[in-house]
């Protein structure tokens, strides 16, 4: 079965497809030929996830979902949060965002943080259901690892000695914020069949 996903992010798509397994075929915005970016004008992760899912539903009138994720750093008052993807500016890279984060944390002892994902699923009737996942950890002093994307090289999950970027996709999918939210969505979809 096809499941439409309102994202251009291939890293997210890989992670989610891995969790979905063979029962679902994920189709992201690239697969659907949608090139324009969906403006994330919300003030919260929930609002942004819903904006993206609603856009896709308006185009296809079928069940679809979107997610929004953010890194919330305690010493920075929860920032970058909803602005994680554009922390260093609208057209900046993952490396720029990480460099700014590390710079803003320089000299601070408290480096606790959490990654959070909210999924907005819109069913075929146009009703929205939300799923949430989070994982606690710390921000490392320097980047470690080359796997993953986003802030993965500087996020070390609680109780582990490696960053998300030092894990395989399977290892990350066992504990990540996105995996927790996605697994809640999968449970819901399976129970709704």
Question: Domain count of the chain?
Answer: 1
**Each residue's pLDDT tens digit, 72-96:** 999 999 999 999 989 999 888 999 9
Of 154, 150, 158, 151, the C-alpha closest to 175 is 158
Say which range, 8-17, 27-36, 46-55, 161-170, has the weakest mean pLDDT: 8-17
68 labelled catalytic = yes
Compute the average pLDDT of residues 164-188. 94
User: Do the Cβ atoms of 20 and 27 come closer than 8 Å?
Assistant: no
What is the signed CA dihedral for 143, 145, 150, 154, rounded to 10 degrees? Answer: -40
Q: What is the pLDDT of residue 193?
A: 67
Catalytic residue chosen out of the listed positions 22, 67, 68, 152: 68
Entry pTM = 0.90
Task: Report the CATH number that the domain containing residue 96 is assigned in CATH.
Answer: 3.90.950.10
Structure-token pair, residue 29: 């915005």
Q: What is the pLDDT of residue 177?
A: 94
**Each residue's pLDDT tens digit, 119-156:** 999 999 999 999 999 999 999 999 999 998 899 999 99
Residues of the domain holding 71: 2-191
Compute the average pLDDT of residues 25-29. 95
Q: Is the bond preceding 81 in cis, omega lying within 30 degrees of 0? A: no
- What percentage of the chain reaches a pLDDT higher than 90? 83
């Amino acid at each position: 079965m096809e499941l439409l996903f309102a994202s251009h992010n291939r890293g997210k798509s890989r992670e989610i497809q891995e969790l979905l397994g063979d029962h679902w075929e994920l189709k992201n915005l690239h697969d659907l030929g949608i090139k324009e970016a969906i403006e994330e004008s919300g003030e919260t992760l929930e609002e942004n996830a819903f904006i993206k899912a609603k856009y896709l539903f308006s185009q296809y009138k079928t069940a679809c979902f979107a997610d929004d994720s953010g890194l919330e750093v305690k010493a920075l008052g929860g920032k970058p949060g909803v602005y994680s993807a554009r922390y260093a500016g609208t057209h900046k890279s993952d490396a720029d965002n990480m460099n700014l984060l590390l710079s803003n944390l320089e000299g601070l002892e408290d480096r606790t943080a959490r990654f959070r994902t909210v999924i907005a699923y819109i069913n075929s009737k146009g009703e929205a259901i939300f799923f949430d996942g989070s994982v606690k950890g710390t921000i490392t002093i320097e980047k470690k690892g080359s796997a993953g994307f986003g802030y993965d090289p500087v996020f070390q999950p609680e109780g582990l000695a490696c960053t998300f970027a030092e894990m395989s996709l399977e290892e990350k999918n066992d504990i990540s914020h996105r995996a927790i939210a996605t697994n809640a969505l999968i449970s819901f979809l399976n129970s709704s069949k």
